[in-house]
Structure 1
Amino acid sequence: MGGMGGWRAAGSVAVWAAATALSAGLVWLGLQPVLRTAVPDRVEVESGAALRDAGDGAAAPPTPSPPVPTGTTPSPATPTAAGTATTAVPRPSASPTTEPPVVRTSAPPATVDGWTLVSERDGSTSYLRQFEVPGGTATIRMTPGRVHLVSATPNPGYTMDTLQGQPDRLVVRFWTSSRIHTVDAIWWNDRPYAEVSDNA
C-alpha cells in the first residue's frame, strides 16, 4: 500500500509538470506577435522595391536659387609675383582717332594781261578786270566773242555812259564838260584787250 501511494504522488507530479510545460508553450506561442511588436531590437528590413516605391511618393526638396547681388561686384584681385593682391583697373575704351583737318590753300587766280580767269558754272572760262580811271571805276567781263559790263561807278562830278555797237566791243565813258575818260574793251585775236584814254 505504501508503494502504491508513492507512485500516485509521482504520477501527479509528472502530470502537473507536463501540464505546466504545455501551458507555458501555449503562452509562448500566443505572445510571439506581441513580442515582435514590443521588442525594439527586432527591425524588419524592407525590400528594395518597397524603398523605391516610398521614395517615388516623396516630393523632392526644392533647389535653392543663388542670391541676387544688390551692388556692383568689385574687380577680382590679381596676385602679383611678390604675393600682394592688385586690383584690376579697367582699360579705358579706345577713342576714335581724329585726323587733323586738311588745310587747303587756294592758289592765286591765273591772270592774262591783267585779266583774271574765272570758272563759270557751265564749265567755261571768262575774263574779269576792274578799271580805275580819274572819272570812276568800271568792271568788265569777257567771254569768247562777247563783252559784258559788270558794274560802273562814276566819281563825284562825273557822268557815266556806255556805247556797245556790237557784242564783242564795249566802250565806257566818264566825262565832265571839260574831260572824258574812256575804257575801250574788245575781244580781239581770241583774247581780251582794252585801252584806257584820257581826253581833255
Structure 2
Amino acid sequence: MRSSRWTPIAGWCAATATSIVLASVAMLPVLRTDAPDDRALAQLPASDASEFPVPLPSATTPPPKSAVPSATAPTRKPKPTETQTTTTAPPRATTTAPPPVTTTPPTTTEDGWTVTTAGDGTRTYVRSFRVEGGQAVIRMTSDAVVQLVTATPADGWQVQKVQDTPDNLAVYFNETGHSFIIHATWHNDRPFAQVSEIGS
C-alpha cells in the first residue's frame, strides 16, 4: 500500500531530473563559446588611458535639398565702377487720326466787297469804310442780313448805329455840327453802300 502512494512522486522526480539533464546537455556548446567582446578586447593594442574614451563619430544627416548649393556658376556682383544697363522696349507707336482737313472757301472781290461762298452756297460780303470821323467794317450775307462788325471813331468824334430792319443799316460818325453817314443795305440781290457828309 505504501509503495503505490510514492509511485507518482517518484515518476515526477525522474521526469524532472531527465529534463534538467537534457537542458544542461543542450546548453553546453553555448557555454563553451568565448564571448566575442572578450576576444576583440584581447586583440586591441595596449594604449595610454588618456586616449580613452574615443569619441564615436556623430551621425550627420544630409542638409535639406533647398540648402544644397546648385551646380550653376556663382553670380558675380557688379563692381562699383560697373554700371548696370537695363533695356526697355521702345514705346509703342500710337496711331492718331489726322486732323480733319478744313478747306477755306475761295474769296473774290466785287465792287470793293470781299466775297466768300460757303459750302451751302451762302455768300458773305465784307467791306471796310474809312471816313474823317472814323472807320467801320460792315458784313452782309446773301440772305439779306446786314451787320456792323466794328466801328472805331476818330479822336473828338462819336459813333452811332441805327438799324430798323435786318437788311438796312446806318453808321454815324458825329462831331459838333459835322457828321459822316455810312448807309448799307441789301438791294436787288447784292450789297449796296453809300457814304455821305453833313455839315462842315
TM above 0.5: no
TM-score by length of 2: 0.44
